[in-house]
Structure 1
Amino acid sequence: MRKKPKSIPVNQFGDEYNSGISIEKIALDNLPHFEGDEQSERHDRHTFHLLETGTITIEIDFQTYEIKSSSVIYMHPNQVHRIRTFDNVTVSTWAINNENLNPDYLKLLEDIVPTKPLVLDNETFSLISEAVSLCLKFAERNNDKLYHAILKDSCNALVALVASQYLEYAKSTDKLSRFDTITKDFRELLERRYTTFKRPTAYAQALNISTPYLNECVKTTTGHSVSYHIQQRIILEAKRLLYHSNKSVKEIATELGYDDYPYFSRLFTKVAGMTALAFRNKNFD
């Protein structure tokens, strides 16, 4: 059994010039003794990975994906991931924090999380690969007077290229119905306030609509009630902490805004189908 840290590790990207932006291309050969459990972490910024060659297996929030070239994947800073296996991988990775990310792109990325890997057609892969190569050259020109501006703009262009691919698989934002828009606003608010807002009424009040109407919108759009989404988001974070840290269940309950520990325990069991300790033990057998 691996030793768990007190809290979920956050990978601080190498950032020699303190720009909040990083980009690199790396090659990884298959390692027969590689232990993916040791790589569980969050990132300190939004990350994008263009798999150019090889195959990699990665677990993101308890979902396992086998990614083959040529593919791209986006990961939000909240998401916890670990590499399980990789074989003769060449990957280009760029990362950018909220301060440097175009606000429109940030809003779009918040809307599409969680995402899955996307397989790219040859033309799109070539376009993004060429853009990455150009951005890597910009990153080397740290003596340019407008170095940060050039790096920021080129990295945002890469973000836009990838985001546009995800939009191909989603409903166009300019065709959203009223129900879709309210559901989207609810999900954004949920991500910010799930540790403090525990009831549908709190979200309805913040969105200046009635609770029944909010429920109608969310259930029509997603097939599930507002309460369902609140509980699922809380339990996802609880699972992350149970799996990736050594915090006690009581500490996790407090961190997620529950002073009533027995209530939190019952909620976890109801949503996850097992007790919190059973979940922790099951994943470390």
Structure 2
Amino acid sequence: MSFKPKFIPLNTFPDVESKGIIIEKSYVKDLQLERIRKAHRDNYHLFFILEQGSGIFEVDFKQYTIISPSLIYIQPYQVHRGISFKDGYFTVVLISDENLNAEYLDLLKKMAPADPLMLETKLFDVLSDAIAVCIKMKDLERKLYHSILKNSCNALIGLIISEFLKNSVQTDPQTRSEVIMSNFKFLLDEKFAAEKNPRYYAERLNISTAYLNECTKKATGNTVSYHIQERIMLEAKRLLFHSSKSVKEIAHYLGYEDHSYFSRLFNNLTGMTALTFRRKSFE
């Protein structure tokens, strides 16, 4: 049986001097592959642009095979790992919330989680030029260095976001229900462990519980309670699969004092016990 850490490892920004922005090119052979193959979270936005080669990533239990040229976006706190790489050459952009354009940050939250993108030749050429500019800015020594680098990276990320939006199903402006659903989703990501009553989210959004339920059904076909339970189950699965916390500890972490109730809920919603789900992580 392989070792599981007590907590899912969290990578904080790796370089204080960078002030929340890192952009660099590298080869897979230069990476600490054993570290990358272990499931972890980041507290920053990660854009991985594969320019040569191929690889397999796992993000929240979904595996993706990516072939160059392609792009994968990992939002903060998603659990992910690199499973394998072949002849990889890539650009990586790490950027913190405070360095992102507010509009871009909002769009990234709305579109996440996002599947990887295959890049058309024309777009890849434009992104390559934008990356080259960002890297040149990184090497400048100017009084406004950080602002220049920040603006350059935001231009690159704006191009990336526009491509994700072009490939998304959504083409018309968001309806009122979709806007409320997006706001509910943001709030749920922050409060799911502490607040499980739909009324709490409705009050925070200044609408009635009935109207919030109507909006979530129109936008997704599912109720508020369904989304709350789905978010809790995602975090439970993350902890069961990637950590050694006991079921009782996970229940308490997710706000359930009665771990037996949590166990029954997990079984009802997933069709298997928490321990059965955990055992699958060792198969």
TM-score, structure 1 normalization: 0.93
Distance across 1 between alignment mates of 2:35 and 2:58 = 9
Identity among equivalent positions (%) equals: 49
Counterpart of 1:211 in structure 2 is 209
Distance across 2 between alignment mates of 1:105 and 1:275 = 40
Asked if 1:2 is matched to 2:2, the reply is yes
Asked if the contact 2:109–2:186 (Cα under 8 Å) also holds between the matched residues in 1, the reply is: yes
Matches within 5 A, 1:15-54: 15=15, 17-29=17-29, 38-54=37-53
Question: Cα deviations across residues 100-128 of structure 1 (Å, max 9, x unaligned)?
Answer: 11111111111111100011111111111
User: What value does the CA root-mean-square deviation take over the aligned residues?
Assistant: 2.0
- Partner of 1:259, secondary structure, is coil
Matches within 5 A, 1:238-253: 238-253=236-251
- Partner of 1:77, secondary structure, is coil
Distance across 2 between alignment mates of 1:2 and 1:35 = 14
Asked if the contact 2:184–2:201 (Cα under 8 Å) also holds between the matched residues in 1, the reply is: yes
Asked if 1:122 is matched to 2:124, the reply is no
Counterpart of 1:137 in structure 2 is 136
Q: 1:199 aligns with which of 197, 200, 205?
A: 197
Distance across 1 between alignment mates of 2:194 and 2:213 = 19
Tell me the amino acid that sits aligned with residue 28 of structure 1: V
Counterpart of 2:179 in structure 1 is 181
Counterpart of 2:64 in structure 1 is 65
1:48 Cα shift?
A: 0.5
Distance across 2 between alignment mates of 1:37 and 1:93 = 14
- Call closer, same or farther: CA 1:211–1:68 in 2, change over 3 Å: same
- Partner of 2:113, secondary structure, is coil
Asked if the contact 1:29–1:86 (Cα under 8 Å) also holds between the matched residues in 2, the reply is: no
Distance across 2 between alignment mates of 1:4 and 1:145 = 46
Distance across 1 between alignment mates of 2:94 and 2:171 = 25
Question: Cα deviations across residues 214-272 of structure 1 (Å, max 9, x unaligned)?
Answer: 11111121111111111111110111111111111111111111112111111111122
Asked if the contact 2:55–2:88 (Cα under 8 Å) also holds between the matched residues in 1, the reply is: yes
Tell me the amino acid that sits aligned with residue 52 of structure 2: T
Which moves more between the two structures, 12-21 or 174-183?
A: 12-21
Is there any run of 5+ residues in structure 1 with no aligned partner, and where? none
Asked if 1:166 is matched to 2:167, the reply is no
1:52 Cα shift?
A: 0.6
Q: 2:256 aligns with which of 255, 258, 272?
A: 258
Distance across 1 between alignment mates of 2:264 and 2:35 = 32
Tell me the amino acid that sits aligned with residue 211 of structure 2: Y
1:65 Cα shift?
A: 0.4
Counterpart of 1:231 in structure 2 is 229
Counterpart of 1:12 in structure 2 is 12
Distance across 2 between alignment mates of 1:267 and 1:149 = 49
Distance across 1 between alignment mates of 2:78 and 2:258 = 26
- Call closer, same or farther: CA 1:235–1:168 in 2, change over 3 Å: same
Distance across 1 between alignment mates of 2:160 and 2:168 = 13
- Call closer, same or farther: CA 1:133–1:2 in 2, change over 3 Å: farther
- Call closer, same or farther: CA 1:182–1:103 in 2, change over 3 Å: same
- Call closer, same or farther: CA 1:6–1:42 in 2, change over 3 Å: same
TM-score, structure 2 normalization: 0.94
- Partner of 1:219, secondary structure, is helix
Question: Cα deviations across residues 175-212 of structure 1 (Å, max 9, x unaligned)?
Answer: 11111111111111111111122021221121121222
Asked if 1:154 is matched to 2:115, the reply is no
Distance across 2 between alignment mates of 1:16 and 1:220 = 44
Distance across 2 between alignment mates of 1:2 and 1:44 = 26
1:4 Cα shift?
A: 1.3
Asked if the contact 2:37–2:83 (Cα under 8 Å) also holds between the matched residues in 1, the reply is: no
Is there any run of 5+ residues in structure 2 with no aligned partner, and where? none
- Call closer, same or farther: CA 1:149–1:37 in 2, change over 3 Å: closer
Counterpart of 2:87 in structure 1 is 88
Question: Cα deviations across residues 12-63 of structure 1 (Å, max 9, x unaligned)?
Answer: 34325141111111111499xx768842111120010111111110000000
Q: 1:270 aligns with which of 241, 252, 268?
A: 268
- Call closer, same or farther: CA 1:210–1:173 in 2, change over 3 Å: farther
